Every structure is written in structure tokens, then in C-alpha cells.
Amino acid sequence: MSLEERTVNMKTPPESFLLFREELRKAQLEKERLKKDYEQKLVGVNKELSRLKEQIQAQQDMLRTTLDYASNLEGKLDQIKADVINAQSLKNKSVF
């Protein structure tokens, strides 16, 4: 092999290296694609989680309001019972 042939061979990388470099480039592109896909899915999951948190908060507020309303009704019912008992008591006293 002449000096010239050796110089040409040294400037040209082996075929296996070229194949490896191409596979590495493909793997890096796939990695980037998967990373973007993952990030998009993560954004979607976070949006859904936020929406669910808002729904839970709204349901808790509604439940709290319902319990307050029921408690107020119970207090009014107790007052009405007391008023009826007092009215009956006064009626009974006035009859005798």
C-alpha cells in the first residue's frame, strides 16, 4: 500500500463508524421526539389535575353551604317547636 493510499484511507472513516454515527443520530432524534411527547402529556395531565382540583373545591363549597343551610333550618325548626309549645302552654293556661 502506497503512502497515498494510506492517506486516503485515514481520511475516510470506516463504514461501521458511519453506520454507528447514523444510528446515534437516529437515537438522539427519537429521544427528542419522546421527550417532547412526554412533556406534552405531562402538560395535559397537569391541566386535568387542576380541573379535578377545582371540581373538588366546588363540591366541598357546595357541601359546606348545604350543611350550613341544614343547620340553619334545624335551628329554625327548634324555634318553631318552642313557639308551638309556648303557644299551647298559654292556650292551656288561659282556658283554666
> Does pTM surpass 0.95?
no
Q: Across the chain, which distance is largest between two alpha carbons, in Å?
A: 140
**Which residues touch 9 (CB under 8 Å, ≥6 apart)?**
1
In sequence order, which ranges of the chain are alpha helices (DSSP H)? 3-11, 15-95
Mean pLDDT of successive 10-residue stretches along the chain, which has 96 residues: 58 82 96 98 98 98 98 97 91 69
Dist. CA 89–CA 83, nearest whole Å: 10
Q: What pLDDT shows up at residue 42? A: 98
